[in-house]
Amino acid sequence: MTKPLIRAEDGADARAIREVTEAAFAVAQHSAGTEGAIVDALRAADALTVSLVAVIDGEVVGHVAFSPVTIDGAQIGWLGLGPLSVRPDLHRQGIGTALVQEGLERVRALGGKGCVLVGDPGYYRRFGFVPDPAMRVAGVPAEYVMRLPLDGALAAGEVAFHEGFKAS
């Protein structure tokens, strides 16, 4: 496989991102089927702090989004990671890993204090994310709420993702 180019999303990528996201989550075990709408809503609200695409031979094959979160109602410089999507026929080839690694580097460069996500611990531990019962997301089992402090400081409390996550 050709190594993907990881770059910032541009205006021409929106449709391809939606298609890749919908395809990726159509085969995901735990999906509400709203992930494509979430990315569109985050973009419309100008809430995509970092939005990267993976491109192979000029085609968008993956995407990752980072957007602001609040913890106990306050914005303290933490971002939510997700959705992360890779075209299903290209799973397990390192594209998602490359997107997350580059995204975390960019979040650090922007001065992000940390990242939180709801996801598979088996996948996200490789990046340093760990479940933390002190970080809670309503209705989500604690083992799937994972955090990664980027400045050494831990955060604790009720995490609220951007309103875009309520899109359907």
53's enclosing H/E stretch is: strand 50-56
- CB under 8 Å to 49, separation ≥6 — which residues? 66, 67, 68, 79, 107, 110, 112
For residue range 120-147, list pLDDT tens digits in order.
Answer: 999 999 999 999 999 999 999 999 999 9
For residue range 38-97, list pLDDT tens digits in order.
Answer: 999 999 999 999 999 999 999 999 999 999 999 999 999 999 999 999 999 988 999 999
Question: 32 burial class (0-12, 13-18, 19+ CB within 10 angstroms)?
Answer: exposed
CA-closest candidate to residue 2, choices 54, 50, 39: 54
* Bridge partners for 145 per DSSP: 118
Amino acid sitting at position 151: D
Amino acid sitting at position 167: A
pLDDT of residue 142: 93
User: HSE of 56 in the Cβ direction (CA atoms, 13 Å)?
Assistant: 17
Cβ distance 39 to 63 under 8 Å? yes
pTM, 2 dp: 0.94
Tokens describing residue 4: 């993907």
